[in-house]
Chains A and B, each alone.
Chain A
Amino acid sequence: MSYEPKVVAFLCNWCSYAGADLAGVGRLQYPPNVRVVRVPCSGRINPLFIFSALRNGADGILTSGCHPGDCHYVSGNYVARRKFALLKSMLNYMGVEEDRVNFTWVSAAEGGRFADVVSKVSERVKEIGPPKGVFKKAD
Chain B
Amino acid sequence: MQNLSKVIQDTAKKLLEEKKVDLVVGFAQGSLPLRSTPYFARTVDQAANLIWDEYCENNLTNYLRKREEKVAVVAKGCDTRSIVALMKENQIDREKLYIIGVPCQGMIDRKKASKLVGGEILEAEINGEEITLKGNGFEQKAPKAELYYDTCIRCAYGNPVIYDELVGEEVAAKELSFAEVEEFEAKSAEERASFLAQEMEKCIRCYACRNACPTCYCPECFVDTSSPQWISKRAYSAKDNLIFQGVRVFHQLGRCADCGACERACPMGIKLSLLTRKGVKDVKETFGYEAGLNPDDKPVLNDFTPDDPQPFLMKE
Determine if B301 and A82 form an interchain contact, defined as CB atoms under 8 angstroms apart: yes
Determine if B190 and A95 form an interchain contact, defined as CB atoms under 8 angstroms apart: yes
Of A52, A75, A121, which contacts B230 at CB under 8 A? Answer: A52
B300 proximal to A (CB < 8 A): yes
Determine if A90 and B238 form an interchain contact, defined as CB atoms under 8 angstroms apart: no
Determine if A48 and B243 form an interchain contact, defined as CB atoms under 8 angstroms apart: yes
B194 proximal to A (CB < 8 A): yes
B314 proximal to A (CB < 8 A): yes
Interface string of A77-101 (1 = CB under 8 A from B): 0110111111111101111110100
Determine if B310 and A85 form an interchain contact, defined as CB atoms under 8 angstroms apart: yes
User: Which residues on the B side are within 8 Å of A92 (C-beta)?
Assistant: 189
Determine if B193 and A95 form an interchain contact, defined as CB atoms under 8 angstroms apart: yes
Binds A, one of B18-26, B35-43, B48-56, B277-285: B277-285
Number of A-B contacts (CB under 8 A): 119
CB distance from A90 to the nearest CB of B (A): 7
Interface residues of A in 77-133 (CB under 8 A from B): 78-79, 81-90, 92-97, 99, 102-105, 116-117, 120-121, 132-133
Determine if A94 and B301 form an interchain contact, defined as CB atoms under 8 angstroms apart: no
| Residues of chain B at the chain A interface (Cβ within 8 Å) | 184-185, 189-190, 192-194, 196-197, 200, 222, 230-231, 238-240, 242-243, 246-247, 249-250, 253, 275, 278-279, 282-283, 286-287, 300-306, 308-314, 316
9 residue pairs A–B, Cβ–Cβ below 8 Å: A48-B243, A51-B246, A52-B243, A79-B301, A88-B311, A90-B275, A95-B196, A102-B314, A104-B316
